[in-house]
Structure 1
Amino acid sequence: MVRDILRGTGVALVTPFQADGSVDFDSLQKLINFVIEGGVQYVVTLGTTGETPTLSKEEKQEVVQATFSTVADRVPVVIGIGGNNTNEVVKELEAFPIEKAAAILSASPYYNKPSQEGIYQHYRAMAQATNRPILLYNVPGRTGSNIAPATVVRLANDFENIDGIKEASGNMGQCMQLLRDTPQDFMVVSGDDNLTLAQIACGMDGVISVAANCFPKDFTGMVNAALENDYVTARSLNNKLLSGYDLLFAENNPAGVKAFLTELGIIENNLRLPLVPLSDRIYEQVKEYLESLRQKGIHA
């Protein structure tokens, strides 16, 4: 089951760019090796953190191929495929090498603000276009609409290959309702790094994380400890990372995590417009925070 394969920490990989704006495949390889060596259970390519709205179709294909090549079957790979044009999303499902993916992660349609029936029909079209496992992705702060728990339950019950959800509403009441009402084999993972510990305590199966790009060993250690009900260890690690979560999202994602990764020597600090690097003030705070972690013995 997908719930067994993807239990724990998944990392929503950034897409490194060179100074001229082209994809930096050498740095992508370095990043993938860094997070796998740090202990993450799986990687997610072409998520929002990967700046996919600014990648061409050809670049997306190249990033996916490079990800599979570098991972080399060491951990499962999840591919992000989504959009607000359902017909185009179905075409992408046909174009990508999804047969090698553990699952497809798909954010609900953004900007259009469809009704709950529209959201249901969008995912219905996806489920009927492939037999690969699909993970819903609820992130109202980016899409402008919420996938209601009742819609998630309906999709989970109606389609065998809709196997889970990345829940990033930040609404703990909604999260608990999902955990209560979805089928037993349906996977529910966090999409909020700063809430992951609490959400695992409520019953979630792990997280698809931004923080795991730059803190793979300690963030994954926190998640693993929580999943093993070792909340003393989990709280200790989480408390030391709390300020880091704030810095990651202080201005935009992935500007925060790219600043951290630059300071760690893994990528160059380049983004594609309309996103820009962190302001000098916040970047200095990133440097100071990393130094404080080193003094506390956190791996950074």
Structure 2
Amino acid sequence: MKKFHGTGVALVTPFTESLEVDYKALKKLLNHTAKGADYYVVLGTTGESPTISSEEKKKILQFVKDNNSKNLPIVYGIGGNHTEEILEIIHETDLKGVDAILSVSPYYNKPSQEGIYQHFKKIADASPVPVILYNIPGRTGSNMAAETTLRLAAHKNVIGIKESSGNLEQCIKIAKYMPKDFLLLSGDDMLALPIYSIGGHGVISVLANPFPVIFRKIKEFVQAGNYTKAAQELYKLSDLNGAMYEEGNPIGVKYVLSLLDICTPLVRLPHAPASEGLKKRINTLFEQIKK
């Protein structure tokens, strides 16, 4: 699974002024992120997947496949809180050219650990491609315990986890006991380096949309054993990171991408565009990074 070592870019979905999918901007984004990406993550939460229709999802996935200039691996988001519906989506989706799916722990239902395990077991049994688990308690309302992750890691079709719990002790437990070929991926940009340091394999990143080269350098310095220089790269983004989520993701990162003339800052409801106050703070922080 070395194809998923390093940086996976959680791609945003660019929109036109009329809030249609902007494929011209998406191609620009693919070319830009290819400067540092090791793989693409298509239609995760950062891609505003809850507001993208099933027909749009098919077109976006196909577009990424057709415009993947470096032939990078593709991870595609298929998850939810209705297990049987997810199985239907897996069955109906053309996963040819997709290297793995990323599936979020069930949200809102707040299932038990046994429920989470059985949910993912069914998905892993049904999926024709490998499954990467996604734990993000801040969105789902429930945490997937390390013990549940490790139990699922024994499944031959479960290859890793995107850990966004922010709980380093939980991540350390996974790192300590996970199978040799299991992937531990940070779901938090600012924890990318700590996750690398405990034996993790990289990050699925929001800020790699505008700053792919910084994440490439972090990976390269880690591989060279130079954590001091890797930290210096990460520090470049530490002040900006909080602003990315202040009004919801991907509002902040889309505004940064608009400053780079890659796409508009527009988002679909229920998200609202960045406030003037947030824009002003991001402008200041962005100029500091450019120096």
TM-score by length of 2: 0.97
Is the contact made by 2:251 and 2:273 (CA closer than 8 Å) also made in structure 1? yes
Task: Identify which of 37, 42, 62 aligns with 1:40.
Answer: 37
The aligned residue for residue 77 of structure 2 is 80
Further displaced range: 40-49 or 229-238: 229-238
Inter-partner Cα distance in structure 1 for 2:221 and 2:45: 27
The aligned residue for residue 298 of structure 1 is none
- Structure 2 SS opposite 1:212: coil
Alpha-carbon RMSD: 1.1
Task: Identify which of 64, 69, 85 aligns with 2:61.
Answer: 64
Inter-partner Cα distance in structure 2 for 1:229 and 1:250: 33
Task: Identify which of 173, 181, 186 aligns with 2:182.
Answer: 186
The aligned residue for residue 103 of structure 2 is 106
- Structure 2 SS opposite 1:211: coil
Q: Where in structure 2 are there 5+ consecutive unaligned residues?
A: none
The aligned residue for residue 50 of structure 1 is 47
Task: Identify which of 240, 254, 259 aligns with 1:258.
Answer: 254
- Structure 2 SS opposite 1:137: strand
Inter-partner Cα distance in structure 2 for 1:243 and 1:135: 29
Is the contact made by 2:125 and 2:157 (CA closer than 8 Å) also made in structure 1? no
How many angstroms does 1:135 deviate by?
0.2
2:280 matched to 1:284?
Answer: yes
Inter-partner Cα distance in structure 1 for 2:13 and 2:71: 20
Further displaced range: 46-55 or 215-224: 215-224
Inter-partner Cα distance in structure 2 for 1:39 and 1:269: 22
Q: Residue type matched to 1:122 in 2?
A: H
- Structure 2 SS opposite 1:71: coil
- Equivalent runs, 1:114-133 vs 2, <5 Å: 114-133=111-130
Inter-partner Cα distance in structure 2 for 1:256 and 1:73: 27
2:199 matched to 1:203?
Answer: yes
Q: Residue type matched to 1:62 in 2?
A: K
Is the contact made by 1:205 and 1:227 (CA closer than 8 Å) also made in structure 2? no
Structure 1 residues 273-294: Cα deviation after superposition (integer angstroms, max 9, x where no partner):
0001111111111111221222
Q: Residue type matched to 2:6 in 1?
A: G
What is the identity percentage for the equivalent residue pairs of Structure 1 and Structure 2? 44
* Count of residues in Structure 1 that have an aligned counterpart in Structure 2: 291
Inter-partner Cα distance in structure 2 for 1:110 and 1:156: 21
Inter-partner Cα distance in structure 2 for 1:128 and 1:164: 15
Q: Residue type matched to 1:193 in 2?
A: D
- Equivalent runs, 1:155-174 vs 2, <5 Å: 155-157=152-154, 159-174=155-170
Is the contact made by 1:269 and 1:277 (CA closer than 8 Å) also made in structure 2? yes
- Structure 2 SS opposite 1:44: strand
Cα distance 1:244–1:149, how it changes in 2: closer, same or farther (>3 A)? Answer: same
Structure 1 residues 97-135: Cα deviation after superposition (integer angstroms, max 9, x where no partner):
223111110001111111111111111111111231100
Cα distance 1:29–1:52, how it changes in 2: closer, same or farther (>3 A)? Answer: same
The aligned residue for residue 248 of structure 1 is 244
2:222 matched to 1:221?
Answer: no
How many angstroms does 1:73 deviate by?
5.4
Inter-partner Cα distance in structure 1 for 2:69 and 2:31: 10
Q: Residue type matched to 2:95 in 1?
A: I
Is the contact made by 1:206 and 1:227 (CA closer than 8 Å) also made in structure 2? no
- Structure 2 SS opposite 1:166: strand
How many angstroms does 1:218 deviate by?
1.2
Is the contact made by 1:99 and 1:132 (CA closer than 8 Å) also made in structure 2? no
Q: Residue type matched to 2:272 in 1?
A: V
Structure 1 residues 47-99: Cα deviation after superposition (integer angstroms, max 9, x where no partner):
00000000111011111011111114521111010011111111111122223
